[in-house]
Amino acid sequence: MQNLRELVVTKPKIAAVSAIIAYFCYKFFRQFLSPMRTIPGPIYSPLFPSFQAVAYLRKRKFFEYLDKLLNKYGKIFRFIGVAGESVVVTDAREAKRILTDTTEFTKMGLATFRPLQLLDYALFVLPSDDLWKRHRKLLQPAFGPTHLRHTAEVSRDTVLELEAKISSKLSKEKQVRLNMHSVLSCTTLDIIGKVAFGHSMRAVETLDDRSTGSWEDLDTITTKLLPFRMSAPTILWKLLGIDNSNPEFSKAKQNVDKLLEDLSSERLEKIRNKELIQEKWDMDVLHRLLISQNNGMMTKEEVFGELVGFFFAGHETTANTLTFVVLELCKNPGIEKRLFEEVKSIDFAKDNLLEILPSLKFLDNIFKEAQRLHPVVPSLLRITTQDTTIMGHFVPRNTRVVVNIRGIHQSSEYYSNPMEYNPDRWDTPPVVGSFLPFGDGQRNCIGQKMAVIEAKVISPNLDYSDWIDSKIYFPIGSKSSSRSNLVHYLWTEIRNDGIH
């Protein structure tokens, strides 16, 4: 020790260089001495171990990086991202265990290590603690049978409004080009607005004029900002153009804050004046949140975080799945014809939709196959709460474990010809743990039944074969996000020979 002190004093430069070399040697060789050294994975540079992950993230192709590692190392591998070392699992049985076993695995809130500054209190980003349990318990009744029935009715009315809008355009023009993702995003935004918040966003009504209505700023936040912030650590936000200095995001956030303030103030006034609930579905998400705030059970920040979270999770994920349904039906006219044959005898304007939908087996297959092939939530993160074993490998406590849903859904081990869109595969039940569009266990999606009803009402009401041209100008291109399967555009050409 004395000699070391003398070296630092007499030859500080040599001491500094030696310390740096020793540090990098330690960082380099530590990966070979790690308790998880039996798990395969790439060898990383000690200087910038997350370089590859950041490079793919910046290109919005992070899940291509995971695909590359999966193909090279198999169903379990280690990789180092900006947040540190993670274990990626692409095995159905282990995925089921990781998502359902709350004694060995838990959900770490995204905001715990990456403040999102918009939805830090949203249900799906909260850690599995007492706060999450309180939020879930308060909100669960807003997704009961009455609200599901209301969802079906609102979905029907909204899609009929959309069809009338497109028919009106076709009566004036020979052909129309539409971004079907934008169209469907407006549709689902109107539905979630009415069902969860008792408020019309007027998105379908103002589809031709993005400067009117209140939906454009929400669309900016939910499609351009939040998906990237959820995928990237705060240190990279400026590099990726998603920090608060971005004028587009700053303006959108101000307007969204005002929208939420207006919605909350209007409803709170009714609550404080003890205005009677006219319908059971009026006890919606907004109402329950504000009652909780009024009773001191939630803060204003918690309420606003949940509101933004429900706008994001409640419309953008469904819009993306529906966009992929449109894409696949355009590519597979035979499948579209079979769907039309199944639903042609149904009067969606009059029949009881909740009674009818379970009988539409092929429609169910079409929707599930889109979710399988194009999962909008391609992975889920858990943290080990104790030392455990995954696929025969030791994994210590406090290790990040990524369940690679996209990899499982597209694995030939669980699905024959996995990259083929084949709704008939759902005539046979899948392998347990191989289909996870809404997660699993106690952290599964709270609104999954509502989302399925919404999508199943919308899908058959769009008669693709007759009014969407087979030429799709821009399928899923460079505008998909780092979450892999979030779409930004799907251009279609619609002819004037008609919706009918």
The Cα–Cα gap between 486 and 229 comes to 14
Is 329 buried (19+), middle (13-18) or exposed (0-12) by CB count in 10 A?
buried
**What pTM does this model have?**
0.83
Element (H, E) at 353: helix 353-356
From 260, 223, 257, 250, select the one nearest 481 (Cα to Cα).
223
CA angle 164, 169, 171 (to 5 degrees): 90
Helix (H, G, I), strand (E, B), or coil: what is residue 219?
A: helix
Which of 5-9, 97-101, 157-161, 268-272 is the least confident region?
Answer: 5-9
Which of 213-217, 265-269, 324-328 is the least confident region?
Answer: 213-217
Average pLDDT, the chain: 79
The Cα–Cα gap between 333 and 353 comes to 25
pLDDT of 482: 37
The 10 Å CB-count burial string (b at 16+, else e) for 376-395 is bbbbbebbbeeebebeebeb
Q: Which residues contact 25 (CB under 8 A, 6 or more apart)?
A: 46
Fold of the domain built from segment(s) 34-495: Cytochrome p450 (1.10.630)
pLDDT of 500: 38
Q: What's the pLDDT tens digit per position in 93-135?
A: 999 999 999 999 998 765 444 445 666 788 888 888 888 888 8
pLDDT of 424: 98
Domain ranges (residues) in the chain: 34-495
Q: What's the pLDDT tens digit per position in 398-437?
A: 999 999 999 999 999 999 999 999 999 999 999 999 999 9
The 10 Å CB-count burial string (b at 16+, else e) for 200-234 is bbbbbbbbeeeeebbbbbbbbbbbbbbbbbbbbbe
Instruction: Report whether 330 belongs to an annotated binding site.
Output: no
**Mean pLDDT, residues 164-191 taken together:** 83
Answer for the pair 132, 329: CB distance below 8 angstroms, yes or no. no
- Neighbouring CB atoms inside 10 A of 429's CB total 8
Q: What's the pLDDT tens digit per position in 335-368?
A: 988 988 888 877 777 678 888 888 899 999 999 9
